[in-house]
Chains A and B, each alone.
Chain A
Amino acid sequence: MRKELARIVFAISILLLSLLILQESMRLPIGSFVAPGSGLFPIIVSSGFVILAIFAVIGEYRNNRAPRETLAYGKIWQMVLMSMVGVSAGASIDYFGYLITTFLTILIILLTVYHGRPAFAVGTAFGVTLLAVITFNFLGVGLPILPVWMR
């Protein structure tokens, strides 16, 4: 996706979000100026948010008419992969424990995103995980370090 188009799409997404929030704010009781309700401040902020979002869309559209530049956006799949790995880490940490989860997460990232050599990736993942475990233990942070069958 071209950068300028992506900017407009992002600005429009923010505008839609602001409209949704404004609609949600309208459901809250406004109260009066003598006794403001829980909705007064959210309505003020979300109304301002809508106006700002409109300005942002207009701003991006006007910038779009400037001479176009091509910008390599690339590597989006790396970010998607990273996010998925992160989320699966969250899902598995309770069962497999921090040690295995973090080791595998780092290993996957190093092997896929960085195309690292396996020996380097294993060494780095192991070293970093160990360092993190030692640090968390030293500071008394309560983490399930070991997998569930070893606790």
Chain B
Amino acid sequence: MELVWQNIHIGFVTALDPSHLLFCILGAVLGLIVGIIPGIGSAATIAILLPVTFHLSTTSAIIMLCGIWYGSMFGGGITAILLGIPGQATAVMTIIDGYPMARRGESKAALVALILASFIGGLFGFVGLALFAPLLADVALSFGPPEYFVLAGIGLFLVSYLVTSTITKALISAAIGLLLGFVGLDPVTAESRFTLGILSMQDGIHLIPMIMGLFGVSEILRIIEETGGIGSSQSLALKYKSHVSNKSILRNIWQSATKGSLVGFIVGLIPGAGATIASYVSYALVKRWSKKRAEFGTGIVEGVAAPESANNAATASGMIPLLILGLPADIVPAMMLGAFAIHGFTPGPQILVESPEIFWGIVTSFLIGNIVLLGLLLPLLPWFEKLARIPSPLIVSLLLAFVIGGSYTINLGPSGVYIAFFFGIIGYLMRKFDYPLPPLILAFILGPIIEFSFRQSIIISRGDFAIFTSRPITAIVLAILTMVISLWFISRFLTAIQLDRPKK
């Protein structure tokens, strides 16, 4: 325990360093703003800002990106409550109880519940991250290529499985991502693969302009396609009832927020589940466990607290696989892995020994960022409603300016801009035809890890595939995967039987 306190002390010293603190606050506020504005997701924002992090230190860069991530969780809920539009996908469940409260004129109570619950979720996430990550690091030190192959493979499969209802399309996205990851020189034999004879392709496709295109440019195209300004048709007269004190709201929500945080933290650890699914599961479970279960959905603070605490806790736990195993479990951590790569830093179990200031600085920044957001949001709440009504031409202009500038940097020049716009069109079409983008990016990042560890494992075992089933960790993970796939097939089979059965 003493070691944990020592490490947290290191974390505070790092995170409170003025330059890190500045980027922590900057990221949190930026995330808050993009979370409030419907249409720009945290993924698109991080994609656009990735090149900017090139000029920061590794710790500052990741602290800022984390700030954007959890800041957007706070912000997404504000729009969900005030306008009934989720600022982020993670805030969809917040609408169920938050929006009816706002319609009744209890928006202040709903917003305070959101802020307090998000803070509790963030606090829970910080504690979980600080306690759980070192334990996993000890286990991860014994991981070899077979474990990395199986974990990365299962992570990719689960993202494809959970992210959409059409698994075929999700797997196609993943296959495209894997194949794009093969472009360039083979890491073992240095042979050219899929380079089309172009010399510059031997370095492979650069991640940053690709991400900026797939998320940033396709977002611009989507916004442009939608007619009218975002949120322009909404006109909700806000009434702030002041007779409910923050203390009494806290008394009402602490139980559901704690339960929501616990569920969110656990779900966030599952590769591919992410903050959105964490908020869904949390809302459902907290409702089931609550004495007020009949009132859920009518507009109660507990219904706001459960998903909001969960999505914030899930952001912290989502960092654990990335920092300790070097395997991103979701799209935002995948982008952060890109930021690590920009700085030539490889996360993994050694991070706690070799770069404790980076690890603990990031962990502590979660707490500091959440405190900053708590202190900022409570007094400034009425002002944030205006942000949700920013017209779409302004959003498109901002995105465009940052895409052009961002994709040009990292020594790519104009070709970076071309790559971004090329992948922007591809991304737009894929979204249009329901091919999800997260599996593509995750596969692109995990592809080389999967291939390299697969080949290493096969070479070690002299071609014996039993290496993937004979080791305890891989055996357990593969058993879980087999169970998930079997359950999926059984549920599909049962649904098909029910549909075929004639109605009486």
Contact = CB atoms under 8 A, between A and B. Distances in A.
27 contacts: A21-B179, A33-B458, A33-B463, A37-B189, A41-B454, A45-B178, A49-B175, A52-B171, A55-B168, A56-B168, A75-B225, A89-B404, A89-B417, A90-B415, A90-B416, A90-B421, A94-B413, A98-B408, A101-B404, A105-B404, A106-B397, A109-B396, A124-B393, A128-B394, A131-B401, A135-B52, A135-B402
A112 to B, nearest CB: 10
B342 interface: no
Contacts of B455: 36, 40-41
A113 B433 CA distance: 23
B407 to A, nearest CB: 8
A18 to B, nearest CB: 8
Across the A-B interface, the 4 shortest Cβ-Cβ residue pairs: A90-B417, A38-B186, A132-B401, A33-B463
Interface string B403-444: 111111100011111101100110011000100000000000
Contacts of B406: 141
Contact of B168 (A10, A59, A75, A78): A59
Nearest to A86: B421
B162 to A, nearest CB: 17
Interface string B154-183: 000000000000101101100110110010
Contacts of B193: 28, 38-39, 42
A78 B224 contact: yes
Interface residues of B, number: 63
A102 B168 contact: no
B484 interface: no
Contacts of A118: none
A110 B179 contact: no
A70 interface: no
Contacts of B429: 10
Nearest to B455: A36
Given A7-B433, A94-B413, A110-B393, A49 B404 contact: no
Nearest to A32: B463
Contact of A79 (B182, B224, B401): B224
Given A52-B171, A86-B421, A86-B424, A41 B458 contact: no
A98 B404 contact: yes
A128 B397 contact: yes
B471 interface: no
Given A10-B429, A49-B172, A55-B168, A106 B400 contact: yes
A34 B462 contact: yes
B295 to A, nearest CB: 38
A69 to B, nearest CB: 14
A62 to B, nearest CB: 12
A30 B222 CA distance: 41
Interface of B: 51-52, 54-56, 166, 168-169, 171-172, 175-176, 178-179, 182, 186, 188-189, 191, 193-194, 217, 220-221, 224-225, 392-394, 396-398, 400-409, 413-418, 420-421, 424-425, 428-429, 433, 451, 454-455, 458-459, 462-463, 465
Interface string A116-151: 100000001100110110011001111100000000
A80 B463 CA distance: 50
A76 to B, nearest CB: 9
B224 A75 contact: yes
Contact of B188 (A6, A38, A106, A109): A38
Given A42-B179, A83-B425, A98 B225 contact: no
Interface residues of A, number: 66
Contacts of B407: 90
Contact of A29 (B168, B191, B225, B418): B191
Given A79-B225, A87-B417, A93-B408, A129 B401 contact: yes
Nearest to A15: B172
Nearest to A40: B455
A88 B51 CA distance: 21
A33 B416 CA distance: 38
Given A35-B459, A94-B413, A141-B409, 13 more contacts: A21-B194, A38-B188, A49-B179, A56-B168, A86-B403, A90-B407, A90-B408, A90-B415, A90-B416, A114-B392, A116-B393, A135-B52, A143-B409
A83 B152 CA distance: 35
B224 A36 contact: no
Interface in A21-65: 21, 24, 28-29, 32-42, 45-46, 48-49, 52-53, 55-56, 59
B404 A102 contact: yes
Given A24-B194, A140-B55, A79 B428 contact: yes
A14 B172 contact: yes
A16 interface: no
Given A28-B193, A36-B458, A128 B398 contact: yes
B351 to A, nearest CB: 25
B112 to A, nearest CB: 32
Given A45-B179, A49-B176, A102 B217 contact: no
Contact of A102 (B400, B409, B413, B459): B400
Contacts of A89: 404, 417
Q: Which of A74, A90, A131, A135 has the most CB of B within 10 A?
A: A90
Nearest to B23: A139
Contacts of A37: 189
Contacts of B221: 79, 82
Contacts of A6: 433
Contacts of B175: 18, 45-46, 48-49, 52
A20 to B, nearest CB: 10
Contacts of B463: 32-34
Given A38-B193, A106-B397, A143 B171 contact: no
Contacts of A28: 191, 193
Nearest to A10: B433
A45 B178 CA distance: 8
B55 A93 contact: no
